[in-house]
A and B are shown apart, each in its own frame.
Chain A
């Protein structure tokens, strides 16, 4: 069986992918923390051609009051793609997709943030996608957890967003745009690198149990790589004031 559209070949004859990457090779990742002066915490993540900027504000009083929880903080996550982030202009404002991603991102981050430390308050997380090339929800999660740590919010671990998928019946790590559009499956995950827990998992398309195992293995490998970059970004920002 070929890809989703039946006529696009995504693997080259030499076993490499169209952009020259090996099956278990991820795109280049670059991370910076503490880039926005107005925010309590912030992060900038470039993952392949994706660029995400995240600002974190709070903890602050939760408004509207109906979202307040007496025993814990709520995360108010807003995932938004800039109108110019893709080749088709995106109409500004919430849409069905950004609502879904905001919701799943909030739920994923709630399992790492020690929300019970801040009853009745909310933590605002603004994820802004400036450039998109497949896998923006994962980039958003990675950037959001760096920004939360930069803001001094207590967390039990960092959360890394990574994805694997299947193209031309082969499991590959970190799909790019063509692979995401014409591939057979996509498996984004939110991974806590220190505990090995999974805080977030979605699957688009079909994977056999064996393919799932392999995709998970790729995801964990990439998560540890990205985790190193996240740590470095945070340490750089924390020691940035030193002369």
Chain B
């Protein structure tokens, strides 16, 4: 979702602003149809995808969707399920039956306790925002080592870059395993120096990512790419 992908003008709008668009344009995310005209509902930049107009917000909270990879912290343990903080408005459920272990009723705490971090996948979100997560799947596990960096979720696409190139650069320069979860948490696993390198690169992206010339600024930390 970079500006170069669409070539459209990245105009800033505030809620209530009318968006100039060719007739027949459809309202996308962050856009409302009022009579004949499109109106922004969020503070952000206008993005045109074909005939759909979106507003990409400059600031947002994570709203879980089914299929999302998330990093959660155990916030409460019941007899047969865990509650995870997934950085959204609500705690997510992780039932015992969807954990990778054979857990006896009442023994949930022996496998994961308060404060533990887990890599999980959102299985379903119902219309009242109840979230059920699963740990059955490739790469889903309890996180035992590494550093978890938290960034605003709408900046994740900048960290990944087009075709994952930015993320690849950071991985190679820092020699770390990096997993980007959709709720804005990034697991960085490697030696201390590598983690520090990766974190400073991510910091640059978060602070100055939407301005032109990001590639050069990153080069000062992680070197130019090939």
A contact set with B: CB distance below 8 Å: 40-41, 58-61, 70, 112, 114, 118-121, 149-158, 192-195, 230-231, 234-235, 238-239, 241-243
Cβ-defined contact, B59 with A41, below 8 A: yes
Interface residues of B in 133-165 (CB under 8 A from A): none
A237 CB to nearest chain B CB (Å): 8
Set of chain B residues within 8 Å of A192, measured between Cβ atoms: 16
Other-chain residue from A112, A119, A150, A242 in contact with B43 (beta carbon distance below 8 A) = A150
Cβ-defined contact, B61 with A193, below 8 A: no
Cβ-defined contact, A61 with B39, below 8 A: no
Set of chain A residues within 8 Å of B127, measured between Cβ atoms: 119
Cβ-defined contact, B89 with A241, below 8 A: no
Cβ-defined contact, B16 with A157, below 8 A: yes
- Inter-chain contact total with CB atoms closer than 8 Å: 94
Set of chain A residues within 8 Å of B129, measured between Cβ atoms: 118-121
Q: Give the number of residues in B that approach A within 8 Å (Cβ atoms).
A: 31
Interface residues of B in 86-109 (CB under 8 A from A): 89-91
Set of chain A residues within 8 Å of B211, measured between Cβ atoms: 241-243
B contact set with A: CB distance below 8 Å: 12, 14-18, 30, 32, 34, 39, 41-44, 57-61, 89-91, 127-129, 207-211, 213
Chain B: CB-nearest residue to A236: B12
Set of chain A residues within 8 Å of B128, measured between Cβ atoms: 70, 119-120
B56 CB to nearest chain A CB (Å): 10
Set of chain A residues within 8 Å of B59, measured between Cβ atoms: 40-41, 150-152, 238
Docked CA distance A153–B14 (Å) = 11
A160 CB to nearest chain B CB (Å): 10
Query: Other CB < 8 Å A-B pairs besides A193-B16, A194-B18, A239-B12, 4 of them?
Result: A61-B89, A118-B129, A152-B44, A238-B43
Set of chain A residues within 8 Å of B18, measured between Cβ atoms: 194
Cβ-defined contact, A238 with B15, below 8 A: no
Cβ-defined contact, B210 with A118, below 8 A: no
Set of chain A residues within 8 Å of B89, measured between Cβ atoms: 58-61, 118, 121
Chain A: CB-nearest residue to B90: A61
Cβ-defined contact, A235 with B12, below 8 A: yes
A-B contact pairs, 19 of them (CB 8 A): A58-B89, A61-B90, A61-B91, A114-B41, A118-B129, A119-B129, A120-B128, A149-B42, A150-B59, A152-B60, A154-B15, A156-B15, A156-B41, A158-B14, A158-B16, A238-B43, A238-B58, A241-B207, A241-B208
